[in-house]
Structures are given as C-alpha cells and as structure tokens.
C-alpha cells in the first residue's frame, strides 16, 4: 500500500488546471454578476515581517511540554523588551520561565496555567537565555529535557542507592553545557531534597541560568480582558475585537496574547467558550491553549454565487514553523487580486483564522501596557 494522496487536493489540482484552461476564455467574455463588499477596518498588518518586532523572534515549538502559557508569555515579553528596553542580547527561554513560574507558585507539576496569571507574575521572575537552555538539551525535544529532570529526581527519591548516581548524572549534564561554574555535587544533592520535582528542576535551571539571566522587574503592567466579566459573550467578542484591532493599528505594534480553544485553528464552527465566557476542558474538548495574535488580513471567499470578504487574525502558535498540519488553502478562498495566488491558511507555522470564529473561542485577551 502506498501513501495515498489527499484526493481532495489531488483532484482539485488536476481538475482546477483543466477547468481554468478551458473556461477562462469564456469567463472573460461574460463577466459574472458578483457582489463585492470591502471592510475598510481590516487593513493588512504583519508583526512577523520586517521591520516589525516579531520578525526577529523565531517561531518556537513547545512540543509535549504543556507550557503554552509560558511560550505565549515569552513572545510578549521579548517583543516588549526589543521595542522598549534594548539591547536584548538573548531571548527568553519559555521552559525556564514556565518552570520558574510553577515553582514560585508552588505547583506540583507543569500544566496549562491561565496565561494572565503567568504573564501577570512576570515582573517577579527572571528571563533566562533561550539559547542557553536550548543548548543544554542539545536539540532533544523540550519535553525530554523536563522529563530527564523529573526522572532524575524520582529515581533519587524512590531508590536511595540511585541518589549518588542521579546527582552525578545531572552534574555531568550541567557541567558539560559549560553554563554554570558554581554547581557541585553537594549542591545537587541538596536540591534533590526539595519537596517536588518542580522545585528541584527550578533549582537546576537556576544554576544553568546563573550567568545568563536578567530580572523582569522593569516590565509594565498587563492589560487584561476576560470574557466572563462582560454582560454576555457578544459584548465580550466585540470588545476583544476592538482591543486587538486598536493594538494592531498602533505604530510599533506589539503582539496580543489570547487564551482560547485550539479547535478553532481547524474548525471555524468551533464554539469552545461557554455563553458565560468560560473556557475549560469540558467546553473545549481538552484543547485549551494560549498563543499570540501577530497579524490581520482581509480574505476573499466565494459564498454561493457571490464574493464576500472576511477579516482574519494571524495566530502565532507554539508548535513550530511547519504548516504541514493544515490544508494549503481554504476550499472557498480566492485570490485577493487578479494574477495573485490564493492566500494560504498557514504561513511559517502561523495560522489565519476568521476573526469572529477566533473571538467565539477566546476567553482572555491580554498584552503588556505601553511604556
């Protein structure tokens, strides 16, 4: 059995070319009676392209860490630092940030946390160099790095004969990275007596980051909008849209964070936030997520025999730069202008989503305040 092609794509590619070649001349002779509407408020904006701020911050991959809140927060923090507090010699490690947040707030594990709480805490935390942590796990998947620390801690806890071995193992790992010159075996043994693996991991990461961290106390406050505080979901959606558009229209615009139901990235009809404005695993089929909005565009699509337009937001996800997870095009989309290609659903791992669909699935909108 061979790899089957996506029939819908294959047939469309083949037949579309044939149909275009055969029908195009006749279309030119009889112009169709399309209705066309434009939305003046939906001008194209891209924060991910030069010279805008996110063009210098890569798309990251949280992999299996469940640290989406920390990844979204790190993007907001670094965009703000680059714009308002240069020079920024190293980007923020979301892993270090997420583990530090979990440790400071006494959590027993690393799970999804409301982003507002995470970003709201940022002033009390540090930014540790993204590259230092990435080099530490040497292209291992992010989750492996954390699991290694967890396993190391649990081995030592469960079997005292493993204590020395586990301590040496992690010491070698940290020493090999060359990032810390203050760590020794006695320190690691002391850290292994921490009550939870979160506290232990945080101590190890602090050691790795010791020469590569900066306090985030200079960060401004956070503007936050929560759906459940509005009189109904419609007013929350309208307020969210207005706020996001205002932010995007600013000079030197900054990205905007959202807590939302990830289902909407593939399903326009998804309605993952309850009428009361709540987002949780039961309203959203276990796909609660956090990302940042980094752009806006007007999409042209065919609806019956009419051409309509719709405003879309560009969502920068934290699952890497690949677009293979999404179809190339929406089935009803058409080129914006004659001679152009059809607009793609996904660019560099960032996904275009209809603004109303996205707002139906968003429970929180937040961003760092201006300087």
Partner 1 sequence: MKIFYIMLITASCAVYAEDSTFFKIREENIKFYNYPNLRLTISKKCNLALQNKICKNLSFLNKISSNKTRMKHPNEQNIASTICSEIIGGKVYIGIDKNNNETSFCQLKDLSYLDVATIGYYADRNDGLTTKPRRSKK
Instruction: Give least dist CB 5 to partner 1, A.
Output: 6
* Residue with tokens 């699991």, as numbered in its chain: 147
How far apart are CB 296 and partner 1 at their closest, in Å? 15
Nearer to partner 1, 111 or 181 (CB): 111
89 vs 161, beta carbon nearer partner 1: 89
Is the Cβ–Cβ distance between 278 and 250 less than 8 Å?
A: no
What's phi and psi for 329, nearest 5 deg? -130, 155
* Residue closer to partner 1 (CB basis): 48 or 191: 48
CB of 263 to partner 1, least distance (A): 9
Specify whether the CB–CB gap between 240 and 228 falls below 8 A: no
Nearer to partner 1, 200 or 319 (CB): 319
Q: How many CB atoms sit inside 10 A of residue 147's CB?
A: 15
Closest approach of partner 1 to the CB of residue 233, in Å: 16
Residue closer to partner 1, measured from CB, 50 or 221: 50
Nearest distance from C-beta of residue 246 to partner 1, angstroms = 21
**Rounded Cα distance, 161 and 163, in Å:** 6
Residues 6+ apart with CB under 8 A from 291: 68, 72, 257, 258, 260, 315, 316, 317, 318
Closer to partner 1 by CB, 53 or 188: give it. Answer: 53
Instruction: Compute the chain's Rg from CA coordinates.
Output: 24
Q: How far is the CB of 307 from partner 1 (least distance, A)?
A: 11
Structure tokens that stand for 323 in this block:
């677009």
Q: How far is the CB of 203 from partner 1 (least distance, A)?
A: 24
Q: Catalog residues that contact partner 1 under the rule CB under 8 A.
A: 1-6, 8-10, 13-14, 17-18, 21, 58-66, 68, 111-112, 138-144, 262, 266-269, 281, 286, 289, 301, 303, 308, 310, 319-328, 330-332, 345, 348-349, 354, 356
Q: Report helix angle 142-158 to 94-104, nearest 10.
A: 40
Residue 42 or residue 219: which is nearer to partner 1 going by CB? 42
Residue 307, beta-bridge partner list: 302
Terminal alpha carbon distance of the chain: 60
Distance of CA 29 to the CA centre of its chain: 47
């Amino acid at each position: 059995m061979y790899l089957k092609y996506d029939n819908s794509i294959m047939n469309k590619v083949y037949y579309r070319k044939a149909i275009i070649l055969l029908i195009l001349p006749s279309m030119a002779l009889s112009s169709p009676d399309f209705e066309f509407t434009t939305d003046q408020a939906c001008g194209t904006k891209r924060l991910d392209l030069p010279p805008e701020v996110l063009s210098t911050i890569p798309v990251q991959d949280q992999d299996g860490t469940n640290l989406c809140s920390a990844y979204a927060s790190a993007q907001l923090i670094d965009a703000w630092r680059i714009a308002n507090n240069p020079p920024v010699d190293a980007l923020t490690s979301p892993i270090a940030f997420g583990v530090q947040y979990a440790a400071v707030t006494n959590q027993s594990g690393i799970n999804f946390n409301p982003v507002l709480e995470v970003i709201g805490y940022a002033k009390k935390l540090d930014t540790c160099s993204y590259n230092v942590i990435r080099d530490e796990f040497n292209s291992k998947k992010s989750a492996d790095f954390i699991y290694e620390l967890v396993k190391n801690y649990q081995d030592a806890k469960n079997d005292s004969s493993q204590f020395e071995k586990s301590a040496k193992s992690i010491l070698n790992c940290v020493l090999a990275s060359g990032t810390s010159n203050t760590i020794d075996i006695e320190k690691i043994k002391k850290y292994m007596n921490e009550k939870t693996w979160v506290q232990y991991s945080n101590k190890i990461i602090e050691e790795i980051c010791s020469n590569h961290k900066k306090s985030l106390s200079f960060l401004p406050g956070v503007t936050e909008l929560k759906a459940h505080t509005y009189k109904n979901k419609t007013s929350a959606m309208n307020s969210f849209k207005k706020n996001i558009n205002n932010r995007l229209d600013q000079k030197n615009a900054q990205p905007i964070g959202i807590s939302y139901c990830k289902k909407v990235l593939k399903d326009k009809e998804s309605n993952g936030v309850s009428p009361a404005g709540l987002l949780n695993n039961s309203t959203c089929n276990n796909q609660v997520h956090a990302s940042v909005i980094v752009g806006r565009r007007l999409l042209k699509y065919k609806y019956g025999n009419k051409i309509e337009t719709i405003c879309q937001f560009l969502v920068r996800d934290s699952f890497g730069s690949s677009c293979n997870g999404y179809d190339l095009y929406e089935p009803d989309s058409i080129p914006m202008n004659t001679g152009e290609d059809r607009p793609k659903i996904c660019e560099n791992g960032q996904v275009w989503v209809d603004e109303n669909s996205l707002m139906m699935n968003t429970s929180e909108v937040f961003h760092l305040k201006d300087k």
